Structure 1
Amino acid sequence: MVLAKDLSHLLSEEAKARRPSPLKTCIKYFNDPNIIFLGGGLPLSDYFPWFDISGTSPKPPFANGIGAPLNEQELINFKIPRDKIDVAVDEEFGTISLDKALQYGFSQGHPQLRNFFIEHNKIIHKMDKYEDHEVLATIGNTWNLESALRCLCDKGDYILVEQYAFSSTLAAAEAQGVKTCPIPMDADGIIPEKLEELLAKWDEKKLGKIKFLILVATGSNPKGLSLPEDRRQKVYELACKYDFIIIEDEPYYFLQTGQYYAAEDRPALSDEKVPHDQFVNGLVKSFLSLDTEGRVLRFDSLSKVMGPNTRIGWISGQKNLLAELLKFHEVSIQSPSGFSQSIVAKTLNEWGQEGFLDWLIGVRKEYTIKRDFCIDSLYKHIPKKLLDDKTVVVNPPIAGMFFTIDINPEAHSEFKSKYEGNAKLFEQHLFEKVIKEGVLMVPGAWFEAKDYTVTDKGGIEEPKKEIFFRGTYAAVGLDKLDQGIERFAKVLESEFS
């Protein structure tokens, strides 16, 4: 039996000092019929003011699309009772009764939910490289990072990040005194050769131990880039060689829309049912599927495929590392909401693994349609001259829900005079003007990772000269999307005319 590598030396001092919550260790006796449980402050479920909750969801295979109107035959109606004794025998493994869902315990997540995610991992990530892997249910990827920072990093430690990274990731690290070292990127994401060069020159005596690399490898936020499989393999090999953890933050993993084609060259999207094996085999390999040593922690979330405020996510990885995260959860969030767990578990188990794949296939199709419409709209509204002379460059994503537009500030007639050759001043001016025009696009400066290695070595970090704006095609309907892009293009036309 192959077990994950012992990575306990990468834990934070806080994690090393934390012991399991004594009260949580005795919760296992709560369901023992031979034990009169007087050990914890668990209220009687008789006092819960809900007798049942009911819900309605679409029924797989969602043949008309996931947003289509449905008749009664295309719906699943379910009821979740308060008491476990009212759960039918054939529903026991898919239903979390409210007397369990709303009670303390199961900090790792209820079995009906966790078991679904464990089986999902086997289908998607072929979890067979080492035996002692596990799943921990959480309240989403933002919290996943917070707990990873607390359990793996001490103040002053370094983590590796993408050159342009999710702003909340950077803010969370900064708040805990964790330093970031950005990895250069190109159109395919982080560059393994640049990462290797950085690691080979790393001065551990001066800068300390690198604890982990965090990246959104598929449909990155903000750039919308996706790391090819060969780069993932190289990055993983570097993690093994230089002994750090990879945190694979993947809320957009199933929104793999593929290459963008102009309308006249675009293959028609088929209404025929996509075979599940074709869908799964077409997904880019995850870091989790490459992991032989247990040094990948994968963050998954339902936020982009079912609903952000379900507040349901999960971390997959080696059992020993997840045990450290669980100890932190037991004295902080305890567990995801019982209501959310019961409703999501019931829905997913009613659908089954195949139905969930049908849903993910449907979500991907909707985002592919919106991505294509968005890029078409950009090319339609941005003046051709600005595109032809590379003043403006549109970057069609192949996954996720974000697109970026690169802008050459030096092409502006007043860049050197009015803006003193400062790209960031010009970017801020554009942002303010775009807002006045009635559309919100986010400036790239919000996502720039600070390189603390420069200042730690006594240098001054050079300001970045390139600028870009990030938009999303997820938040509005097609009409509003087109209108917003037209307004943004109007600002570009007025500034560069």
Structure 2
Amino acid sequence: MTVGEAQDFSRFFSAEAKARKSSPLKTCIHLFQDPNITFLGGGLPLSKYFPWDNLKVESPLPPFKNGIGHPPSGDAEDTCLVHVRRDETTKAGDTIDVPLSRALQYGHSQGQPEVLSFVREHTGLVHDMKYSDWDVMATTGNTGAWESTLRIFCEKGDTILTEQHTFSSSIYAAEAQGINVFPVPLDDNGIIPERLEYILDNWNPEAKKPKLLYTIPTGQNPTGSSLSDDRKAEIYRIAQKHDFLILEDEPYYFLQMDKYEQDVSKRKTTTFDSHADFIASLTKSFISLDTEGRVIRADSFSKVLGPGTRLGWIVASKQIVSTYVRLHEMTIQNPSGFSQSIVGGTLNRWGQDGYLDWLIGLRVEYNEKRDVAIDALHKYLPETPIFHVNPPIAGMFFTISIDTSKHPEFASKYLSKPELVEQAIYEKMIESGVLIVPGAWFKADGDTQPPQPAENKKELDPTRIFFRGTFAAVPLDKLQEGIKKVGVALKQEFQL
């Protein structure tokens, strides 16, 4: 299939992004390792002054026959050994490794070539890109990528759209830059396209329209909801109609699972005949629907390899990627060289098939954790319509939705204010020895000046609150124990 090039979306760039120039110093760093050049052009220390001579790390070896959680023995049959040396002569792209002489040096703001080549191939395999001039760049993870996105596209006083409840750090990062975070209602299945379209169709014409939608489509944090392919297609259509960009924040994309089955006898773990079958089972990404270059995808190794790697990547049109690179040349310089050496060396030895084997293994692990959590909720939560659990099909979070109006002291003690009930429940949980997080901590509630019509901010169920829990952070026995404490605390609080 012939595909075209991305549209020019530079009209969305902030004044800061439009004013920023490429660093001329960065244009010549590639000559540092050219043996025909005597390099006197930059403040790059000799790598012999780096105290690390080599780096060795071990990981399990694909296809992970003993499971992804089984530690490597050190033997060749189950251990992948990455041995990175301080090699001053290796040029970028010559090997599968990022030598320490280069990894720990200035340069390569877009990312080390050995890492970028892997994620480019991975992106092409998984997302079936619909335009030709796309590219990738390394980031310090999705939180850092979001901070950069705000600087590139937004001015103080601009408005962005988000799910009504979303990752609180993303809200705070925007608000700190003077950006309005306008909420879009969501249900058990994520953003409601009809509500999004209604809000934009009835936008106050005296206020600037949003230029960006920030969304966590898969295993949404905090609600655990996941957008269907049909909803994504509708949201993309609305983005075209009202001309805004979509930032899909997808750290949980590969933590997709089977649909929860309460009857244990009917459960069966999905197996895949091939890696192609696994890829075909995944929900479509926004970037895979994008024919114009109006989607920016933020991917991360945080939830699939390790949060402390602080390594992720952006997929976008080359025009947009180059704008991120110019910013990063002046800010982060580049993600950690150690992380790029370790992750790049590991993934290039695993190969694309090995990495997919790892992701399939994660699916098995999270499927079990999810099932244990939801089983425990069914077992320990009081059986009443007051409480609602939406079993997630991706991610690491579950939510307990609570109708506060059914609290016996809703009007008398709590003055018919859901937020007061929420705080009381939170304190009761802590008192009971379990931490589960109030939904209010994730609420987007910004507005424009002049404000939007009241109907645009109408809540679907104003007396309902929710609490977010995770099934990822503790062993299965502790998970069940914690959920039991949640059930007991709710039973006591609601006098059931």
Normalising by structure 1, what TM-score?
A: 0.95
Match of 1:77 in 2: 81
**How does 1:391-430 map onto structure 2 within 5 Å?**
391-430=386-425
| Structure 1 stretch displaced more, 459-468 or 19-28 | 459-468
Distance 2:71 2:47 in 1: 38
Distance 2:416 2:184 in 1: 26
Percent identity of paired positions between Structure 1 and Structure 2: 51
| CA shift for structure 1 position 236 | 0.8
Q: Which runs of 4+ in 1 moved over 3 A?
A: 84-87, 457-464
Distance 1:274 1:484 in 2: 37
The amino acid across from 2:409 in the alignment is E
Match of 2:438 in 1: 443
| CA shift for structure 1 position 455 | 6.6
| CA shift for structure 1 position 383 | 2.3
Equivalent residue in structure 1 for 2:110, among 100, 108, 113: 108
Distance 2:280 2:433 in 1: 42
Distance 1:253 1:310 in 2: 18
Match of 2:243 in 1: 243
1:88-131 deviation digits (Å, cap 9, x = unpaired): x9x9431011001000000000000000000000100012x211
Asked whether the 8 Å contact 1:263–1:376 carries over to 2, the reply is no
Q: Give me the CA root mean square deviation.
A: 1.9
Alignment size in residue pairs: 488
Match of 1:199 in 2: 200
Question: Which structure 2 residue ranges, 5 or more long, are not aligned?
Answer: none
Asked whether the 8 Å contact 2:59–2:72 carries over to 1, the reply is no
| CA shift for structure 1 position 84 | 4.5
| CA shift for structure 1 position 232 | 0.7
Other structure's SS at 2:118 match:
helix
Match of 1:187 in 2: 188
| CA shift for structure 1 position 26 | 2.1
Distance 1:404 1:118 in 2: 35
Match of 1:318 in 2: 317
Distance 2:488 2:6 in 1: 55
Match of 1:125 in 2: 127
Distance 1:468 1:166 in 2: 14
Go from structure 1 to structure 2 and tell me whether the alpha carbon gap of 1:356 and 1:262 turns closer, same or farther (over 3 Å shift).
same
Asked whether the 8 Å contact 1:182–1:451 carries over to 2, the reply is yes
**How does 1:340-419 map onto structure 2 within 5 Å?**
340-384=339-383, 386=384, 390-419=385-414
| Structure 1 stretch displaced more, 191-200 or 65-74 | 65-74
Normalising by structure 2, what TM-score?
A: 0.95
Other structure's SS at 2:414 match:
coil
Other structure's SS at 2:211 match:
strand
Distance 1:298 1:85 in 2: 35
Asked whether the 8 Å contact 2:60–2:70 carries over to 1, the reply is no
The amino acid across from 2:473 in the alignment is A
Question: Which structure 1 residue ranges, 5 or more long, are not aligned?
Answer: none
Asked whether the 8 Å contact 2:302–2:310 carries over to 1, the reply is yes
Asked whether the 8 Å contact 1:180–1:451 carries over to 2, the reply is yes
Equivalent residue in structure 2 for 1:2, among 1, 4, 8: 4
The amino acid across from 2:146 in the alignment is L
| CA shift for structure 1 position 24 | 1.4
Equivalent residue in structure 2 for 1:492, among 482, 487, 490: 490
| Structure 1 stretch displaced more, 273-282 or 320-329 | 273-282
| CA shift for structure 1 position 176 | 0.5
Distance 1:481 1:59 in 2: 29
**How does 1:459-470 map onto structure 2 within 5 Å?**
464-470=462-468
